[in-house]
């Protein structure tokens, strides 16, 4: 139980845990799928270690830039990533857990926000945006799988 606003998303991906974990751990791959549909990304800093900084500029289809800054709090290879998102606007903790299953790896996202009225208003949007993130990740993994099969 938590006193935070908790947003949960999960999806089973038909790849092993190292492949799924690597899609985040490799900034060249991460930039291709992070964020909702119609966003492009530029990763300005990616110090993938506990205490390391992650800065990404997400650009919406209308050209608006959103500069995001996070700090990695926990990294367990092929198993778990936790980061604190500092800005813009909404401070939250993201916990990403990778669980091997017979047909692939399940990725659990758990986002923890302060339970403000503003964050409660955004909850439905964030949950949907996370699903779009998963859609984009699925497409990148399928593309990579197709390229490696050739």
Instruction: Kindly report the number of other CB atoms within 10 A of residue 106's CB atom.
Output: 16
Q: Does a structural domain hold residue 17?
A: yes
- For 74-83, the pLDDT digits (tens) are 999 999 999 9
The phi and psi torsions of 12 (rounded to 5 degrees) equal -90, 125
Answer whether residue 84 shows pLDDT above 90: yes
In the prediction, which pLDDT does 149 show? Answer: 52
Q: Does a structural domain hold residue 130?
A: yes
Express as a percent the part of the chain with pLDDT over 70.
95
Residue 133 belongs to what domain range?
Answer: 5-78+87-145
- For 86-132, the pLDDT digits (tens) are 976 689 999 999 999 999 999 999 999 999 999 999 998 999 999 99
- For 53-63, the pLDDT digits (tens) are 999 999 999 99
Q: Is the bond leading into 88 cis (omega within 30 degrees of zero)?
A: yes
Answer whether residue 2 shows pLDDT above 90: no
Q: Does a structural domain hold residue 124?
A: yes
Q: Does a structural domain hold residue 150?
A: no
Q: Does a structural domain hold residue 29?
A: yes
| Domain total of the chain | 1
Q: Does a structural domain hold residue 125?
A: yes
Distance of CA 54 to the CA centre of its chain: 12
Answer whether residue 38 shows pLDDT above 80: yes
Q: Does a structural domain hold residue 19?
A: yes
Q: Does a structural domain hold residue 131?
A: yes
**CATH code of the domain in which 99 resides:** 3.30.530.20
What tokens does 39 get?
């966003």
């Amino acid at each position: 139980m938590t006193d935070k606003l908790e947003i949960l998303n999960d999806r089973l991906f038909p790849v092993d845990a190292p492949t799924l974990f690597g899609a985040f751990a490799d900034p060249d791959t991460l930039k291709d799928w992070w964020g909702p549909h119609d966003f492009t990304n530029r990763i300005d800093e990616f110090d993938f270690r506990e205490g390391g900084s992650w800065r990404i500029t997400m650009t919406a289809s209308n050209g608006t830039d959103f500069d995001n800054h996070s700090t990695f709090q926990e990294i367990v290879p092929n198993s778990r990533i936790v980061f604190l998102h500092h800005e813009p606007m909404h401070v939250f903790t993201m916990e990403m857990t990778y669980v091997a299953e017979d047909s692939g790896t399940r990725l659990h996202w758990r986002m923890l926000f302060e339970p403000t009225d503003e964050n409660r208003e955004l909850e439905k949007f964030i949950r949907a945006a996370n699903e779009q993130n998963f859609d984009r990740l699925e497409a990148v993994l399928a593309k990579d799988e197709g390229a490696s099969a050739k």
